[in-house]
Amino acid sequence: MIQLGKALRAWNTPEFELVLKQEIAQLGADQLPLQQGLAISSTVTTDPITVIIQRVTELENVLRVKVGILYKGLIGGCSCADDPTPLSDNNEYCVVQLDIDKVSAATTVTLLAE
């Protein structure tokens, strides 16, 4: 499970969004549903992601954060020597919802259909 402890500690401070963006950007593709969010590619690259905080809502037990993520994907070819398909990355975008537990910082991530 993902832990966003730094972001939780920064809640209600001017640094919250910056800390949250940094903490999310450090997560790997295996911790975020980037592969499932691909629209035109077949594989997520290891390039850095860009995090856009869209909305933060404080609920009774969690901080609910809606986040847009810009990242890169690749279309896999056959990897043959004479494959004319150039290997190039594509811009991808997905939206996720993070529910950060206000006590433990345990965070669930849900891919949104947007």
CATH classification at residue 16: 3.10.450
For residue 23, the model assigns a pLDDT of: 97
Q: How many domains does the chain have?
A: 1
Report the predicted TM-score, pTM, of the whole model to 2 decimal places: 0.88
Domain assignment of residue 64, given as a range: 2-112
Contacts of 29 (CB under 8 A, 6+ apart): 35, 44, 46, 71
Tens of pLDDT, residues 42-100: 999 999 999 999 999 999 999 999 999 999 999 876 556 666 666 678 999 999 999 99
Question: Is the backbone of residue 105 left (phi > 0), alpha (psi -120 to 50) or beta?
Answer: left
DSSP letter at 18 equals H
